[in-house]
A = this chain, B = another copy of it.
C-alpha cells in the first residue's frame, strides 16, 4: 500500500465552502482535490493499492481525511465532485478515532503530529519530498510499494512541521529539477513505483 500525506495549511476543516469557488472559499482544498485525482485515478479505474491522508490545518482542531483505494467509490476525476466528497466528510462529527463518511473516506480530529505518531508506532520512516532533497535514486529509505511520501501544499512546510517530520526519521528527497505542485509529484511517484524505478515493481490493480 502506497501512502501519500499532504498538508493543507489553510485547508478548511468545515463543510462551509462553496463548490462554485473552491480555491477562494475552502483554503485551497482544490490543491488537495488534485492530489486525490493524482493518487487514485487511472484509465478505466481507481488504484487499489493507494491511500492518501489529507491534513487540514485551516481550523481548530486540525482534521485529517483519509481516502483508501481498496474501498473507495464514487470518485470522479474532476475537482468539483471530489470537493463534494470532502464536503460530506467534513460535515460528519469528527473524533480522535476514524469515522467513515462515504465508502473509503474517513475523517478524524488531529493533524500532522498524530499522523507522524501513527507512522512511528508502526516503525515506518517516511520520505519527505522537497525540491532541495537528495535525488530519489540515491535515497536510502524504503521506496518500494509500501512507501510513505509526505508533501506540502503551495505554502511548503513551516519550520515546526519540518522539525516534526525530520524527528520522525524522514529522508528528504527530490524527484527532479523542476519545482512541481504536489499533485504532479504524486503522478510521478506513482509512475516511478509502477515502473519499478524505485525498487520492487508493484502490480497495478484497478478496482472499478
Given A180-B42, A191-B188, are A80 and B80 neighbors across the interface (CB < 8 Å)? Answer: yes
Q: How many copies does the complex hold?
A: 2
Given A43-B180, A178-B194, 19 more A-B residue pairs with CB atoms under 8 Å apart are A20-B20, A21-B80, A30-B79, A34-B77, A38-B184, A42-B179, A42-B181, A77-B181, A79-B79, A175-B191, A176-B194, A176-B195, A177-B194, A177-B201, A177-B204, A178-B191, A184-B191, A187-B188, A188-B191
The 3 closest A-B pairs by CB, nearest first: A43-B179, A30-B78, A187-B187
Indicate with 1 or 0, residue by residue over A164-195, a CB within 8 angstroms of chain B CB atoms.
00000000000111111100100110110011
Alpha-carbon distance between A184 and B77 when the two chains are bound, in angstroms: 12
A contact residues vs B (CB 8 Å cutoff): 19-23, 30-31, 34, 37-38, 41-44, 76-81, 131, 154, 175-181, 184, 187-188, 190-191, 194-195, 201, 204
Alpha-carbon distance between A15 and B36 when the two chains are bound, in angstroms: 29
Alpha-carbon distance between A51 and B134 when the two chains are bound, in angstroms: 31
Residue numbers in B under 8 Å from A44 (CB-CB): 179
- Specify which of A78, A175, A195 lies most central, judged by the most chain B CB atoms within 10 Å of its CB: A78
Alpha-carbon distance between A76 and B194 when the two chains are bound, in angstroms: 30
Residue numbers in B under 8 Å from A191 (CB-CB): 175-176, 178, 180, 184, 188
- Specify which of A30, A177, A191 lies most central, judged by the most chain B CB atoms within 10 Å of its CB: A191
Alpha-carbon distance between A149 and B178 when the two chains are bound, in angstroms: 20
Alpha-carbon distance between A81 and B20 when the two chains are bound, in angstroms: 10
Alpha-carbon distance between A80 and B25 when the two chains are bound, in angstroms: 14
Q: Is the CB of A80 within 8 A of B77?
A: no
- The 11 sampled A-B contact pairs (Cβ below 8 Å) are A30-B78, A42-B178, A42-B179, A43-B180, A44-B179, A79-B80, A80-B80, A176-B195, A177-B204, A178-B191, A187-B188
